[in-house]
Structure formats: structure tokens, C-alpha cells
Structure 1
Amino acid sequence: MASQSAPFTCVTAFASEPFEGNPAAVIFLDPLATPQKTLHGLALNFNAPMVAFVKPVEALQSGQTTIHTDIRFVTITGTSSALCGHGTLAAAKALLACPNITGKGIAEIQFRTLNDQIITVWVRDAGFLELELPSSSAKSLPKEEEERIRALVNRAWGRDVKVNHIAAGEGNFKHALMIEIDETEDLAGSKVNTSVFSETRYGINTVTSAIAPGKRLVEEQFVSRMFSPVVPGGEDHVCGSAHCLLIPYWYNKHGIESGKQIVARQVSERGGVLKVTWDGERKTIRLCGEATIISTGVCYF
């Protein structure tokens, strides 16, 4: 029989509607004091693309406008992720809705992650939330490796695809692969065999393209889809961390001035819109979007 319980809030990030964006479960318990086996079990029970475990915040002090707390990200495979953009946005939305916090004028939340990195989320006007993440440059692959990836893309699409560029992240983003296909390939309308991307040897496989004439919906500068074997169904609805690689790439390719905000759109079935900014000097990106609460309750374990 279950002997412990914790409140939870399910949130869909980068969306203003419940059937759009990327869902995440946010469970309020101390991740540092909870065994990994328990965190994994809870993640399995929710079967969400990501589960964020957030240490509950006690009573606020008078005039307090910043919150500091711990966060951990766990996938349904039991893997702890060092970084998750949509999970962070969802956690911020859930935290701000807590009875002891809502309406108290909180302007900033600082989450301490598994590797002691601080992810900051700012509360913006009209319900928008903005978070800052590190950016990564994109490094071209050796010719033999590039040809291997091109062949996998063709298999995933079931046809020959015009691939313009393939690159991988550097530093902490060596697990991230970026594939730019031509705008004529209709990324949004393509049927993709997501299982093929389990063979790339990368945890994040992002396919991106420019926008074909007449196809813009929200003045977006680029679109993307992210495929990964560690998310349900093999495709992430809206991946914040994938943009750590995408944003610098497209800013450089389009000659966009550092610090200027642009719009990006992920064109998965659920889809999502992100207002994004790259700071080339500080090597950071900012992701700004809405988030919608879709359920709340108590889980038992």
C-alpha cells in the first residue's frame, strides 16, 4: 500500500491551448531526498515526455520577488537529464500556481539542476515566461559520418531528402544532432519513421528548415522537429534544449543581429511557438513562451 504522496501539476509548455505544446508532469517533492528508483517509478506512472521534480517552496518572506529551489528532470526510461527547456517552463508555471505563491508578485525563479547549473525563468507580461539556457555552436561531421546520417534521413522519410547541412553540438551538447533539410521538403507535412533515429547514436536529433514562401504562420524564421528514442512515440512535441543549437545556427545563417528577438516554430503534431533570442557574446539563448495547466492532483507511492 502507498505510504507517501506528493502534489503534482501537469503543464503543456510553449502553448496557450491544452492540446498544443509539450506536456510535462511537475511533482513537488525534494529530489535530493528521494531515491532515484522512486523518481523513475513516478516518471513511468505519468508517461509524459518529461517529469520535473521540484523541491516545494516554503512560505515566502515579505517583499520576496525571487524564488530559489531544486529541480531534477527524469524521463520514462529512468534517465536523469541535465537540462530540459520545456520541463523548466512547465515547472515555473506550476510553481507560480501554488496557493502560497500565486499572486505574490514573483518576478524570477532560479532552479538548481542536477549538475548545480542555475536555470533562471523570468515572469513576463500577458502570462509569458522566459528562460535562459547556454548555447552551442554547430560543428560539421566527417564526410563518412555525414553520409551515414544522410542515409538514415532518407530511410526515415522513405524517400530521398534534400539535406542542406548536418552538424553536431559541441561541449555539453555533443549528444545533439542538427539536420537542415531544404524548405521544399515540407518538414511539417512529412510522415517520418521515428524509430530510424535510434540508430544515429545521438540523444537529440533535430531536423530543421527555413520557411517556404507563403507558409509562414507567425512570422517564424525557421521550423523544426526533434526525434529521440527516449521520448514517448520517438518525437518530442517542442524541445527547448534543441534550440540551444538551432538558434545560433539560424542567427548566423540569416545574419540576424545578436540580441534581436525572433520567432521559431516546432511543427510536430501538437506544435508550439517560441520567441527566441541569441546573445552571441554571452553564448546564451532565451526562450519565451506561454504554458497551460492541464491537470492537478496528488500522486501516491
Structure 2
Amino acid sequence: MRLPIYQVDAFTNRVFAGNPAAVVPLDQWLPDDQLLAIAAENNLSETAFFVRHEDVFEIRWFTPAVEVELCGHATLAASFVIATLLEPGRTRMDYLTRQAGTLTVTREGDVFTLDFPCRPPVPTDNPLPALRAALGGPAPEAIFDGRDYLVVYRSEEEVRALTPDMMALAKIDTHAVCVTAPGRDGVDFVSRLFAPAQGIPEDPVTGSTHCTLIPYWAERLGKTNLVARQVSARGGDLACTLAGDRVKIGGKGVLYLEGTITV
């Protein structure tokens, strides 16, 4: 069986930056173990698979190790493929998911805006010494709970300087760990995301964790429109809006690869 495959760098306007995601359109779902094997072979932080049902798309996301319930950059990548290659000129994509409800992506020019659920962080009194030790660096200002632990630092420099112990971090009982701090030079906040237990030591740019970052920084800064930057080695920029119980996450994409896989 031969399947089309695309690789898109998401949340960037140039190749070799942002977060690369593979996109594999399907006529019908393959067995889960085959989907996971394809994602493992791609060896990217996420591979998005989608099946069209009339005018909507059912989408699923896999890391090289597991299926995840929500992914931002691979959804942007899938939307880029649909709107620029499969159905040029399309400006709205509606996605059915298995755990995250219905998601919508709109295109305006070269910007794709994700409409995702808002997931405010939950305060915790747990000092989490194992997490602090695994992250290293200075003591954080605060730690919040949620799908991911959200660890807040005082400055962008502290976030950039972190060199976590990935083996220790993989033992923490959480999906991933997001570290964040105030930004500078027109950027409202910065972040990094570590998910070694999911097969992703550091994710270059993570749309889904902004479901939590946006409500946190919107409340802290007293504004609903924010500029975010994920300060991984590849880096990426996100235009963020808090819209009630939803968040809007905007970014660009660039096609890197187009081809065929044989399974």
C-alpha cells in the first residue's frame, strides 16, 4: 500500500525552524499499531493522520511512542496541507477528535489560526522536589498542575539556560513539563516543553500547551491578545488570544517534504 506523506514546519515562515510534523491523509483508518509504526518510522514529535467525512476531517496524532489526545502544530500542518495542496483556497477546516471535541482551523492569508479548548492551570501545594531536581536551575516562582506541569520562572534567561535530566524527567507522573517566563522585546511570554516519557525530549513548538499558557498569562498580564515564543533550538512564534472558554493560536507553516510511503 502506498500513502502520500507531507512534512510541514509549523509555527514558522521558514524551513528548518518551528516544529516539523508529518501529515498522512488516509481514505480509511489503518490499525492503530500500523499508525504508531509509521509515526515511529517518521521519528518526528508528531505525525497527524486524517480521514475525510464529507466536509469534516477526523484527525489523530501520534508521537514515535504513543497516541496523544491533542496536538497543535500537527493540526496546523494538516491544515496547511489541506488548504494549500489538497484543496487550494480552502479557508476553514473542521476536525473531529476522539478526546478533544471538535476543533476548527481558519486560514487568513498565510496565517492559520487554531480554535482550541482553554485549559487554565490548577494551583498545587505539592513542592514536587523530584520535578525541581530533574529540571535543575534556579528555584521556580510557581508550579501548576494540569495535563502538563506548568513551571514558572522569573526570566527568559532562566528558561533558556535549563538543561533537564531527561531520564529523571521521564519518571515524573505527567504527560509533559512546560517551563515559562515573561518575554521581552515585544514578546509577552516564552516557554519550553519537555516530554521524554512520550518519546519527545524537547518539543520545538507546542500548540496544545498554549491552551494552558494563554489563560495563565492573560490573567497575569491583564490582556487577552498575546505574543508568544517557544525558545527551543528551532524556535517558533505564536499569536495568542483568550476567547472565553476557547483559545486562538495563530501561526504560519512551510512545506519541507512531499512524497509517498510504502507500508
Q: Which runs of 5+ in 2 are unaligned?
A: none
Three-state SS of the structure 1 residue aligned to 2:160 is: coil
| TM-score (normalizing by structure 2) | 0.93
Does the 8 A contact of 1:16 with 1:292 survive in 2? Answer: yes
Question: Larger % of strand: which?
Answer: 2
Distance apart, 1:178 and its partner CA: 0.2
* 1:222 match: 189
Match of 1:5 in 2: 2
- Does residue 136 (structure 1) correspond to residue 119 (structure 2)? The answer is yes
**Distance change in 2, residues 1:129/1:184 (3 Å):** closer
Q: Does 1:22 align with 2:19?
A: yes
Secondary structure, counterpart of 2:141 in structure 1: strand
Contact 1:75/1:230 (<8 A) preserved: no
Q: CA deviation at 1:265?
A: 0.3
Aligned to 2:107: 123
Bigger-Rg structure (1/2): 1
Which TM-score applies when normalising by structure 1?
0.82
Name the SS for the 2:56 alignment partner: strand
Determine if the alignment matches structure 1 residue 254 to structure 2 residue 193. no
| Cα distance per residue 1:222-277 (max 9 Å; x no partner) | 00000002455511111111111111011111111x4xx22000001111000000
Query: What is the Cα deviation at residue 209 of structure 1?
Result: 0.5
Q: 1:13 and 1:242 mapped to 2: Cα distance?
A: 15
Q: Distance in 2 between matches of 1:97 and 1:230?
A: 34
Instruction: Deviation per CA, 1:48-70: give whole Å up to 9, x if none.
Output: 10010012588xxxxxxxx4111
* Aligned positions, number: 263
Match of 1:94 in 2: 81
**Identity fraction in percent:** 29
Whether the 8 Å CA contact 1:195–1:234 is kept in 2: the answer is: no
Cross-structure match for 1:74: 62
| Aligned residues of 2:11 and 2:73 also touching (Cα < 8 A) | yes
- Report the 3-state secondary structure (helix = DSSP H, G, I; strand = E; otherwise coil) of the residue aligned with 2:113: strand
Alignment map for 1:190-201 (pairs within 5 Å): 190-201=162-173
Partner of 1:177: 149
Q: Which amino acid aligns with 1:115?
A: Q
Residue from 231, 234, 237 that aligns with 1:267: 231
Match of 1:235 in 2: 202
Which AA in structure 1 matches 2:132? V
**Distance change >3 Å, CA 29–CA 167, structure 1 → 2:** same
